[in-house]
Amino acid sequence: MTELADRPVDLSDLNLDPDDFSSNPSTAPCFQEVAASRMSRRTVLRGGMLAAAGFMTTSLFADTPAAYAAPKGKAVPPKGAGLLGFTAIAPSKMDEVVVPPGYTAVPFIPWGTPLQPNGPAFVPGSPDAGVTGGNTAADQEQQVGMHHDGMHYFPIGSGRNASLRGLLVVNHEYTDEGLLHTATPAEPAPGAYTLEMVRKSQAAHGVSVVEVREDQHGSWKVVPSKSNRRITANTPMTFSGPAADSPLLDTGAPANGSNPVGTINNCSHGYTPWGTYLACEENFNGYFGGVPTKKIGDEDVLDYTSFGDDAELLDRYGVGGNRYSWSPTDKRFALAPGDVEEVNRFGWVVEIDPFTASSTPVKRTALGRIKHEGAFVHVTKGGRVVVYMGDDQRNDYAYKFVSSGNWKSLRARGLSPLDEGTLYVARFNNDGSGTWLPLIHGEGGLTPEAGFADQAEVLVKTRLAADVLEATPMDRPEWTTVDQTTGMVYLTLTNNTSSSKEINAANPRKPNPWGHIIRWQETGNDHTATSFRWDLFLLAGQGRDSETNDGSTILAEDAFGSPDGLWADPDGRVWIQTDGSQPGKVNDQMLAADPRTLDSNGVPEVRRFLTGVRGAEVTGVITTPDQRTMFVNLQHPGDGGLNTWPQEKGVLVPRSSTVVIVKNDGGVIGT
Ligand code: FEO
Ligand code: CA
Ligand code: CA
């Protein structure tokens, strides 16, 4: 604890990931804006909505004019008064998963688990990289993918049975090419990749559908099932929605010119009331090669000059870099001037029917093309679906999609509720109000003269359209969730380490190495509304009662940074998962916050529930319907280091894995 409290912010500690730079040129900081936003942060959510929900009404910044004037040592209400019934655990630097007393956590379906009992067993390494007996691309296609991320549990059956058997659907965000091919942290040299190795990497991407069953309390097994399925970077898909027939998405390839192939970098996710899964495509840009570089100072930067009219769009999404060495052998990932349509086919939300293994996944273009972190679907009282989404890049935006009608009515007419509707981008005003700006062709300057010939072009170029509408640049929008007990929407903003970022009331720290969580309530608690009121739920960091003055509003004993995964469970507990730098360089972790017990500073009670292993992010969280089993993912344990978690049957490489958590007395998780 001393270590946590005493440690100043050190930017050199921060692991930068590919989202952690800006490709938004329209966000130069301005001193007047900084001053104005600091002075206007006495916001928000005053009285009304929280009182209506029967909660305390203290506003986070009601009387806190200075940017970081967090009082030290203020009394807080006794713990245990609200939704959180477990004993908070300490931060950890260990190589084991720790959960509170009275709970048990067990690894489940690590990378390489065969989908069927007669499937290929996990053996690390690739034959083409010199590892005799290692798994091939064909093996990997029949095994759980690498680097587990967003995840949902689809129950099978009803009543008690629904919580004993279901489909676990898991995103696989990216691959560690060293572990995958050489079974060590060492990546093959760029020239050493054979097409077989590229295919194995592509097979380790995508989504796994795995039928699972609880044998005895806390012990789950993979069930042999015709539902068990892998979706990879090579799975045939289709487009739907307003941009489906756009020439911008047509490569002209004889076999699949107008139909996309595969999904990559599936980070967070969503799930619909009609029983489908939404896999979101995040950092698709780095898979592509063919973009030259130029020197700026000592640095090699991507140079789009030769791409002519396509340069602006490629630049806005930061396309290029060939991070996975795919493009030399798989030309689909090699761009050339005049030949860029393949990259436009990524950056979408992909709808998957997990119950029908023969179904073709559909890329839903109405939800826009961004670096989709997740897609949380909320159903309104009138049966419309509202999809909340973040675009994870420094200074990028938050979005929502609103279906044009009741989802059951639309589906009865043979229409998808994810094709028919309006996409909006968020503006967070400094006075605590907010506006949803529609991305509709012909409105708000989205005209042919501005580069948008039709609605398809607005959607393919979502980021450029949102720039025109002057949306609010955010500190890397990650997961969204809706608390079903209050209607409040939550969004994690993981961090923004740039010292030249734009500062605004919704993103008040510069730099913001620890991140924060914003929340809002739609006007009238109507999720189709085009206005809202927002406040800052919490600012992460070393703690307001630490000596560090880092602007955090949480207590030092609850210190965390880089909030990413987020889920409000059916009771309203807000589960927070971290990915990246933590105060005191402790392992990534999962905490729970209780919005019903705001303290005298207007800050919710927070308790640490789980600590991961060294190098791993904690991501993906869902329970069975009875809330008595929780599934959480640990991604990239070791992260290139020597950790070998979860050390199953003598396997000495680290493997991303799900963790099954139960309360030993069979109670609801979190109580
Ligand atoms: Fe894949 Fe933005 O985390
Ligand atoms: Ca994430
Ligand atoms: Ca992240």
Question: Which contiguous run of DSSP H or E holds residue 562?
Answer: none
Report the pLDDT value the prediction gives residue 90, as an integer from 0 to 100. 98
Residue 424 host element (H or E): strand 421-428
Give distance in angstroms: CA of 477 to centre of ligand 3.
Answer: 9
Q: Compute, in angstroms, the gap from residue 579 CA to the centroid of ligand 2.
A: 7
DSSP code at position 187 = P
CA distances, 507 to each of 189, 216, 429, 465 (Å): 41, 46, 11, 22
Nearest-atom number in ligand 1 for the CA of 267 is 1
- Strands of the 477-482 sheet, one edge to the other: 376-379, 385-390, 398-403, 421-428, 433-438, 531-539, 516-522, 489-493, 477-482
Ligand 1 centre from 149 Cα, in Å? 9
**Ligand 3 centroid, distance to 444 Cα (angstroms):** 32
Ligand nearest to the CA of 477: 1
The first and second tokens of residue 317, run together, are: 């999404």
pLDDT tens profile 421-451: 999 999 999 999 999 999 999 999 999 999 9
What is the rounded CA–CA span in Å between residue 550 and residue 66?
13
* Contact residues of ligand 1, CB 6 A cut-off: 19, 173, 267, 282, 373, 392, 478, 564
Amino acid at residue number 249: L
294 within 8 A of 303, measured Cβ to Cβ: yes
Residue 493 and residue 418 in contact, taking contact as beta carbons nearer than 8 Å: no
In a domain, 479, yes or no: yes
pLDDT classification of 10: cutoffs 50, 70, 90: very low
In a domain, 501, yes or no: yes
The three-state DSSP-derived secondary structure of 484-544 is: CCCCCEEEEECCECCCCCCCECCECCCCECCCEEEEEEEHHHCCCCCEEEEEEEEECECCC
> Taking every pair of C-alpha atoms in the chain, what is the biggest distance, in angstroms?
69
What per-residue confidence (pLDDT) applies to 38?
Answer: 28
pLDDT tens-digit map of 13-55: 333 455 666 777 665 333 333 323 322 332 233 323 323 333 2
Q: Give the DSSP H or E segment for 2.
A: helix 2-6
**Chain centroid to CA 135: how far?**
29
What integer pLDDT is reported at residue 416 of this predicted model? 98
Establish if 668 belongs to a structural domain: no
Nearest CA to ligand 1 atom 1: 267
Distance from residue 561's CA to the centre of ligand 1 (Å): 14
User: Is residue 459 a part of any domain in this protein?
Assistant: no
| Phi, psi (degrees; rounded to nearest 5) at 619 | -155, 150
Categorize the per-residue pLDDT at 60 as very low, low, confident or very high, splitting at 50, 70 and 90: very low
CA separation, residue 342 to residues 280, 283, 321, 614 (Å)? 17, 15, 15, 37
Residue of 126, 231, 225 whose CA lies nearest to 179: 126
Q: Which ligand is nearest to the CA of 565?
A: 2
170 CA distance to ligand 1 centroid (A)?
15
Atom of ligand 1 nearest to the CA of 282: 1
- Among the listed residues 459, 319, 475, the one whose alpha carbon sits nearest the alpha carbon of residue 391: 475
Q: How far is the CA of 53 from the centre of ligand 2 (A)?
A: 30
Integer Cα distance of 386 and 25 in angstroms: 29
- Amino acid letter for position 75: A
Atom index in ligand 1 nearest the CA of residue 149 equals 1
Contact 227, 212 (CB under 8 A): no
Question: What does pLDDT average to over the chain?
Answer: 89
Whether residue 107 is contained in a domain is answered as: yes
Q: Is there a cis peptide before residue 646, judged by omega within 30 degrees of 0?
A: yes
Ligand 1 atom closest to 373 (CA): 2
Atom of ligand 1 at shortest distance to CA of 371? 2
Task: Give the lowest-confidence range in 150-164, 415-429, 644-658.
Answer: 644-658
Using only the alpha carbons of the chain, give its radius of gyration.
23
Pair 397, 418: CB distance under 8 Å: no
Helix H or strand E encompassing 271: strand 266-271
Cα separations (Å) of 656 from 37, 175, 262, 409, 580?
A: 41, 10, 22, 41, 16
The CATH number covering residue 128 comes to: 2.120.10.30
Centre of ligand 3 from the C-alpha of residue 589, in Å: 13
What is the domain count for the chain? 1
* pLDDT score for 424: 99
Sheet strands (E) in 282-420: 293-296, 299-302, 349-352, 362-364, 376-379, 385-390, 394-396, 398-403
> Looking at residue 21, what is its pLDDT?
67
Cα-to-centroid distance, 176 and ligand 3 (Å): 16
> Residue 565 Cα, ligand 2 centroid: separation in angstroms?
6
Task: Please report the atom of ligand 1 found closest to the CA of residue 392.
Answer: 2
Cα of 579 from ligand 3 centre, angstroms: 5
The whole domain housing 229 covers: 4-157+164-194+206-282+347-438+472-663
How many Cα atoms occupy the beta-carbon half-sphere of 145 within 13 Å? 34
Lowest mean pLDDT among 44-53, 637-646, 654-663: 44-53
Ligand 1 atom closest to Cα of residue 390:
2
Partnered with residue 107 across adjacent β-strands are 659
pLDDT computed for residue 75 by the predictor = 38
pLDDT tens-digit profile of 550-600? Answer: 999 999 999 999 999 999 999 999 999 999 999 999 999 999 999 999 888
Strand spans (E) along 549-627: 563-568, 574-578, 589-598, 604-611, 617-623
Q: Which bound ligand lies closest to the C-alpha atom of 15?
A: 3
Q: Measured from the CA of 265, which atom of ligand 1 is nearest?
A: 1
Distance 576 CA to ligand 1 centre (A): 14
Instruction: Tell whether 464 is covered by a domain.
Output: no
Structure-token pair, residue 461: 């170029």
Query: How many alpha carbons fall within 13 Å on the CB side of residue 558?
Result: 26
Note the helical H segments in 296-392.
Answer: 311-316, 341-344
From CA 645, how far away is CA 664, in angstroms rounded?
A: 23
Atom of ligand 1 nearest to the CA of 283: 1
Ligand index nearest the alpha carbon of residue 174: 1
* Tokens representing residue 662 in the block: 């139960």
Q: Residue 261 has what DSSP assignment?
A: B
**What is the pLDDT at residue 236?**
97
Q: How many residues does the chain have?
A: 671
What pLDDT does 257 receive? 77
- What ligand has the least distance to the C-alpha of 17? 3
Atom number, ligand 1, closest to the C-alpha of residue 268: 1
- Ligand 2 centroid–CA 373 distance in Å is 6
Write down the pLDDT at residue 256.
Answer: 76
> In the prediction, which pLDDT does 36 show?
34
Q: Which of 212, 181, 201 is nearest to 141 (CA)?
A: 201
d(CA 134, CA 182): 9
Asked if 377 and 273 count as a contact pair (C-beta separation under 8 A), the reply is yes
pLDDT of residue 487: 97
Q: Look at the block and give the residue holding tokens 């969280």.
A: 621
For 94-136, give the DSSP string: SSS-B--TTEEEEEES-TT-BSSTTSPPP--S-GGGT-TT---
User: What is each CA distance from 26 to 360, 468, 472, 501, in whole angstroms?
Assistant: 38, 10, 10, 11
The percent of residues in the chain predicted with pLDDT above 90, rounded, is 83
pTM score, two decimals?
0.90
Task: With respect to residue 659, please indicate whether it lies within any of the assigned structural domains.
Answer: yes
Whether 457 maps to a domain, the answer reads no
**CA–CA separation, 247 vs 258, rounded Å?**
8
pLDDT tens sequence across 70-128: 233 333 344 445 899 999 999 999 999 999 999 999 999 999 999 999 999 999 999 99
